[in-house]
């Protein structure tokens, strides 16, 4: 059972096809460095700034790949997802670019800013109660009504292949990387990065960073099977979701280790990045730097890529205020 | 009198020499775009992100050019300036890179964060009373004691030539610009940009943005001579200083217009940039976008370069909090 490969695993050819498909719809994001952060880490850090991506998150890559890969018939019926995070916003962005309908099911308790973000790109928000059963029922209704194509936030071949285009750019922008680290929630970015690096730079070690308070992926990796937490609480709110079969495939086959960090370590790393790199990014994106600073022995003297996954944060509620 | 050219005006050859001299010490900063900001402006905006520059501001360019242009003998005696803003930090940064002493004279009332920034790069802070007479007396003492080379924040041939390297990059990164706009305080960045663009892209119109509450440069341009305000008050605290002979030369000969904006317009533009471009930048750097949004008829349908000059801001005191 352990070595069973799910049937719909994306391939490197999918990543290359995604790159061509989405090139017009995404930014080639810059890589930033800071001598002071290098000194703190005892390593050379290269920050791949997906917070500067279209719609403010790497998820514009996977969402664009899914949307622009649809046939005209499928596209006419639109796309749908359930997400109160960046995936909903990014799917709305991509659908808007193609001029097709997008419906995002969200708990009525989700922050208004998240709903506004979806609607700002032309998407429709349908509210559900804040429970899994309500979400599933409402979502099923939306799909039945519209015939929309479901684009899962991460457990989707097209989405993972799209996220894999980020590492293509990173490897092109930075020579001789020894390791790459990304935050892990559902594992979409980690999976796409593993997929790409295992093909073009197999010597690069892949790490994931995870909040201690939502460490289901770290425990899954140790246990050898997927563990899902019930409603974890962390400031890194993009990282609360569990692994699924496609992402688990990449995590268990390619990830060297999953490093966990405390809430205080996340906030400290976030403030460091804002101050030193002068970028606006969300708490989830601070998890990898926190993990690198906490485990200097793993990265000493090495060239380390750090993926800053998103920048969608409430500027009125910063954690150090 | 009006057409008299000051004797020490930098030339385009100085800019090219500066580019080679400082290449190892500065970042080639990225240019960011936002479809939503383009839609608001009715123009294509290209944000040159000098907030992502070394030490957090474009002033690392001019300071590095001054420091690395010194002879070994001069360098051994170090550099000195008076500045409670980015120039002091950036001079300390450049001096630290060369391993020479740097002294920055600052009012004792300057924020501790500004003093820490200078010291963080290895510079020495000498405090004076918050008055021009005290600053001048203390600064004269420092120079007499150390023999340090004075590097003025902007009215300095080496500094202006260094700032001119930013427009070299921008013109290389963005084709077919119609206009460029930068904030104006003392006029160092505006002068360097005029110097470069008048040589390599003379059809590009140069604008400056200025706070209404510190509009001495705008009034100078109208009057035909330098007007200096006494202690203006604006949130754009990098823009309170007056023009001097070298920068006035470029402003009066090359600037198409100086556009003024209110404090509320500056804060609104700053929040827009943080939200849409996901970058940390200071109020002064929001002035050009505020000016573009206020004067759509000047830029309609055009390709406009906007220089984001710096990112050194107190993250605990954001103006929309």
Q: Which chain A residues are Cβ-neighbours of B280 within 8 angstroms?
A: 274-275, 278-280
Question: Which residues in chain A have Cβ-Cβ distances shorter than 8 Å to B116?
Answer: none
Q: A293 with A188, same domain?
A: yes
Best residue of A37, A278, A311 to probe chain B, by most B CBs closer than 10 Å: A278
B72 and B145: one domain? yes
Answer yes or no: do B182 and B160 share one domain.
Answer: yes
The string of pLDDT tens digits covering residues B10-50 is: 999 999 999 999 999 999 999 999 999 999 999 999 999 99
Give the Cα separation of A181 and A260 in Å (integer): 12
Mean pLDDT for chain B overall: 96
B80 & B119 share domain: yes
Listing from the earlier edge strand, what are the strands of the sheet with A255-261?
A31-32, A44-49, A303-308, A179-183, A205-211, A255-261
The minimum CA-CA distance between B316 and chain A, rounded to whole Å, is 6
A132, A150, A168: which is the final residue of a domain?
A150
- Asked if A280 lies within 8 A of B279 by C-beta distance, the reply is yes
Same domain, A73 and A217: no
Domain region containing A248: 12-57+156-308
Q: How many CA atoms lie within 13 A of A232 on its CB side?
A: 22
At residue A87, does pLDDT exceed 50? Answer: yes
From edge to edge, which strands make up the β-sheet containing A102-107?
Answer: A124-128, A102-107, A79-82, A149-150
Position B1 scores a pLDDT of 44
In a domain, A319, yes or no: no
Please determine, for residue B159, whether its predicted confidence score (pLDDT) is greater than 50: yes
- Selecting from A35, A271, A315 the residue whose C-beta is nearest the C-beta of B318 gives A315
- pLDDT above 90 for B118: yes
Domains identified in chain B, total number? 2
Task: Answer whether residue A2 shows pLDDT above 70.
Answer: no
Q: How many CA atoms lie within 13 A of A97 on its CB side?
A: 24
Q: How do beta strands B44-49 and B303-308 pair?
A: parallel
Residues A81 and A150 sit within 8 Å (Cβ to Cβ): yes
Looking at per-residue confidence, does A2 or B73 come out higher?
B73
Mean pLDDT of A230-239: 91
Position A213 in a domain: yes
Average pLDDT over residues A77-92: 95
Please give, rounded to a whole number of angstroms, the shortest distance from the CA of A133 to a CA of chain B. Answer: 34
**Domain assignment present for A6:** no
Look at residue B2 and tell me whether its pLDDT is greater than 80: no
Question: Is the pLDDT score of B110 beyond 70?
Answer: yes
Q: Is pLDDT of B109 > 50?
A: yes
The pLDDT, as a whole number, for residue B230 is: 81
- Cβ–Cβ contact A52 with B under 8 A: yes
Whether residues B43 and B69 fall in one domain: no
On whether residue A266 sits in a domain, the answer given is: yes
Strands A149-150 and A255-261: unpaired
Q: Calculate how close chain A gets to B194, using CA atoms only, in Å.
A: 27
Q: Which of A113-117, A144-148, B253-257 has the lowest mean pLDDT?
A: A113-117
Is residue B317, in this structure, part of any structural domain at all? no
Residue B112 lies in a domain: yes
What's the pLDDT tens digit per position in B186-206?
999 999 999 999 999 999 999
| Mean pLDDT in residue range A24-31 | 97
Let me know whether B162 and B103 are in one domain: no
Nearest chain B alpha carbon to A271: B315
Task: Give me the percent of chain B exceeding a pLDDT of 90.
Answer: 91
Q: What percent of chain B has pLDDT over 70?
A: 99
* B277 close contact with A: CB closer than 8 A: yes
Task: Clarify whether residues B118 and B246 are in a common domain.
Answer: no
Same domain, B164 and B29: yes
Task: Give pLDDT, residue B265.
Answer: 98
Which residues in chain A (102-121) have CB-CB distances under 8 A to chain B?
120
Say yes or no: B273 contacts chain A, CB-CB below 8 A: no
Does the pLDDT of residue A202 top 50, yes or no?
Answer: yes
Same structural domain for residues B53 and B170?
yes
Domain assignment present for residue A141? The answer is yes
In this complex, how many residue pairs, one in chain A and one in chain B, have their CB atoms less than 8 Å apart?
54
- Please indicate if any CB of chain A lies within 8 Å of the CB of B37: no
Does residue A200 sit in the same domain as residue A51?
yes
Section A208-227 average pLDDT: 97
Are A138 and A192 in the same domain?
no
Task: State the Cα–Cα distance between residues A96 and B195, nearest whole angstrom.
Answer: 42
Q: Is residue A18 part of a domain?
A: yes
In this prediction, residue A132 carries a pLDDT of: 86
When pLDDT is cut at 50, 70 and 90, the band that residue A84 belongs to is: confident
Q: Which of A150, A165, A199 is the last residue of a domain?
A: A150
Q: Is the pLDDT of residue A90 over 80?
A: yes
Please give the average per-residue pLDDT across A254-269, as a whole number.
98
ipTM of the complex as predicted: 0.92
Domain ends where: B150, B174, B199?
B150
Residue in A with minimal Cα distance to B113: A275
Closest-CA distance, B90 to chain A, in angstroms, reads: 14
CA distance A252 to chain B (A): 33
So what's the pLDDT on residue A1? 44
Instruction: Identify the helix (H) or strand (E) that includes residue A288.
Output: helix A283-294
What's the CATH number where A101 sits? 3.40.50.1100
């Amino acid at each position: 059972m352990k070595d069973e490969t799910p049937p719909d695993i994306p391939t490197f050819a999918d990543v290359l096809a995604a790159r061509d498909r989405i090139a017009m719809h995404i930014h080639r994001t810059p890589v930033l460095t800071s001598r002071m952060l290098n000194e703190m880490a005892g390593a050379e850090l290269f920050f791949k700034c997906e917070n500067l991506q279209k719609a403010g998150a790497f998820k514009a890559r996977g969402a664009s790949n899914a949307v622009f890969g649809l046939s005209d018939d499928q596209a006419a019926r639109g796309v749908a997802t359930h997400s109160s995070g960046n995936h909903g916003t990014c799917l709305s962005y991509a659908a808007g670019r193609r001029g097709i309908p997008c419906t995002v099911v969200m708990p009525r308790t989700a922050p208004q800013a998240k709903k506004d973000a979806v609607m700002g790109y032309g998407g429709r928000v349908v509210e559900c109660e804040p429970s899994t059963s309500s979400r599933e029922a409402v979502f099923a209704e939306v799909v039945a009504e519209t015939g929309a194509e479901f684009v899962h936030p991460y457990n989707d071949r097209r989405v993972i292949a799209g996220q894999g285009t980020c590492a293509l750019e990173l490897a092109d922008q930075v020579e001789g990387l020894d390791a790459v680290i990304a935050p892990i929630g559902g594992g979409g970015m980690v999976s796409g990065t593993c997929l790409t690096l295992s093909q073009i730079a197999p010597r690069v070690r892949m790490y994931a960073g995870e909040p201690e308070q939502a460490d289901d992926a770290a425990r899954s990796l140790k246990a050898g099977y997927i563990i899902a937490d019930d409603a974890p609480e962390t400031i890194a709110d993009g990282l609360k979701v569990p692994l699924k079969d496609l992402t688990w495939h990449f995590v268990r086959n390619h990830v060297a280790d999953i490093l966990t960090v405390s809430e205080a370590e996340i906030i400290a790393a976030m403030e460091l990045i804002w101050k030193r790199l002068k970028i606006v990014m969300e708490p989830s994106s601070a998890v990898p730097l926190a993990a690198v600073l906490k485990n200097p022995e793993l990265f000493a003297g090495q060239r380390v890529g750090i993926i800053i996954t998103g920048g969608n944060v409430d500027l009125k509620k910063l954690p150090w205020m």
